[in-house]
Structure 1
Amino acid sequence: MLMDEYFGAMKGVLEKVEQTQREAVLEASAEIAERLARGGAWHIMDTGHMLMFEGVGRTGGMMAVKPIRITCEIQNPVRHRPAPARGIVGYDTIPGFADYVLGRANVLPDDVIMIGSVSGYQYFPVDLALKANEMGCATVAVTSVEYSGHLTGKHPSGKRLFEACTYCLDNCTNYGDTLVDVPALGQRICPASGISASYLMWAVQSTVVEKLLEKGLKPSVYISNHMPDAARINGEALENYEKYGF
């Protein structure tokens, strides 16, 4: 069954993550813990499909992890008129947009930005990483090195995300990010990057917690709102985060 093919292939991706990404997780986590201990902040900017939701505000997750959410709406109730097709212009193609985001998100030089992009070749995430590096931030890519290796970077530097960041966490998915071949469809199905990115994110969070505790610092961690006395416990933890930043 296709389900069993998926189960087997997904397990293979996660095993590869465990076998190949351990040192990268340890190195990135040590940097994050050190910067949090110094008063820095930990930001996530994900152009993919998982980190901004799975890694943020969850029971057992660190309160220090904060998402940079970008919204842009253009509204104009003008009557319909035929117009020449101009194509879709996304924020990831606008020069200088990374500078705007860094400023509006209150990113400071001692902070950490974790940037997620599976393909890792578009202009914006690379520009965001390079500009953050120039500021003195630490940057952590969550990407597919194999996927990016098949693509040409759109940034003028020629770099892809795994080449632009201080640290790289490879989600170990393949070119095209699909696991199960379906000849009757003429294509493959079932992406791996979301689950593998979450696997990496929780590996990092657990290691950052461990390293902060080694420093004698107690990080603020959510418990489920459905647990006994959750409002008080989470409230006290939030006060601790607001005071210390971790």
Structure 2
Amino acid sequence: MLANELLVVYRQLIDSIEQEQLQMINRVAELAAQSVAAGGSVYIHDRGHLLNYELFHRSGGLALLKHLNMSPVTGEGVQGELDAAAATIPASPIRKGDILILGSVSGRAASVVELARQARDHGIVTVALTAVDYTSQTPSLHPSGKRLFEVCEHVLDIMTLKGDAALEAEGMEEKILPTSGVTSAVVSWCFIAQLIESLLAKGIAPSVYRSVSMPGGMEQIEATNKRFQELGY
């Protein structure tokens, strides 16, 4: 069954994440905990779609995560993307010492590369969440020729296969079934786990959401948001 073959691929990728990425995940989580302890924030900007939903307002997830949305593109082509990225940091609440996690599987888009460059220029700690092997074989669309992992200070490798798709199937011209959704989620939630561990070690218990479907869920969510607004974590 194709489903069995897909699960084999997913298990192999998750094993690779456990063996090769946990040390870096823990290191980035500690940096994020230090920032939060000092009054800073953790921002997420995802070039794709998964992290914009996966990490926010989830049962067991942290209230402290914040979106960083790109400024609207008003120009044309690559220059329009560069201008939008350059306008994003000054127009947002993100500040020096905050953590910015930038998600992009291929890491090649001009906008996300420029956003990382602009963030570093403003003293923001940049973390690429990207597929290193995949992006290393993919040309950049940024004028510098650099990809996301080459301009960020820290890199979390989601270990996605080149081209993302997992399997070949008889009768299909293209490979099928993506890998990046699963691996992005695994790496990201491992980061959140280590961030919680690092914060607790500093005596900080971060605000965590309960499922809205659980007893008292809505009231707990409202209390969690209020606590986060008061404490910043």
- TM-score, reference length from structure 2: 0.93
> Aligned letter for 1:30?
E
Q: Are the counterparts in 2 of residues 92 and 125 from structure 1 also a CA contact under 8 Å?
A: no
Change (3 A) 1:179 1:93: farther
Cα distance in structure 2, aligned partners of 1:211 and 1:73: 38
Q: Are the counterparts in 1 of residues 73 and 84 from structure 2 also a CA contact under 8 Å?
A: no
Corresponding residue of 2:25: 25
Cα distance in structure 1, aligned partners of 2:92 and 2:77: 19
Cα distance in structure 2, aligned partners of 1:197 and 1:69: 19
Deviation at 1:154, TM superposition (A): 2.3
In structure 2, which of residues 99, 114, 135 is the aligned counterpart of residue 127 of structure 1? 114
Q: Are the counterparts in 1 of residues 97 and 125 from structure 2 also a CA contact under 8 Å?
A: yes
> Aligned letter for 2:136?
G
Q: Work out the number of aligned pairs and report it.
A: 233
Corresponding residue of 1:228: 215
Which consecutive residues of structure 1, in runs of 5 or more, have no partner in the other structure?
75-88
Q: Are the counterparts in 2 of residues 93 and 123 from structure 1 also a CA contact under 8 Å?
A: no
Deviation at 1:49, TM superposition (A): 2.8
> Aligned letter for 2:138?
L
RMSD: 2.0
Q: Percent identity?
A: 31
Corresponding residue of 1:211: 198
Cα distance in structure 1, aligned partners of 2:186 and 2:31: 19
Larger Rg: 1
Deviation at 1:90, TM superposition (A): 5.9
Cα distance in structure 2, aligned partners of 1:138 and 1:205: 17
Tell me which protein shows more helix as a share of its residues. 2
Q: Which runs of 4+ in 1 moved over 3 A?
A: 69-74, 89-93
Would you say 1:190 and 2:177 are equivalent positions?
A: yes
Deviation at 1:237, TM superposition (A): 2.0
Corresponding residue of 2:168: 181
Which consecutive residues of structure 2, in runs of 5 or more, have no partner in the other structure?
none
Corresponding residue of 2:43: 43
Deviation at 1:29, TM superposition (A): 0.3
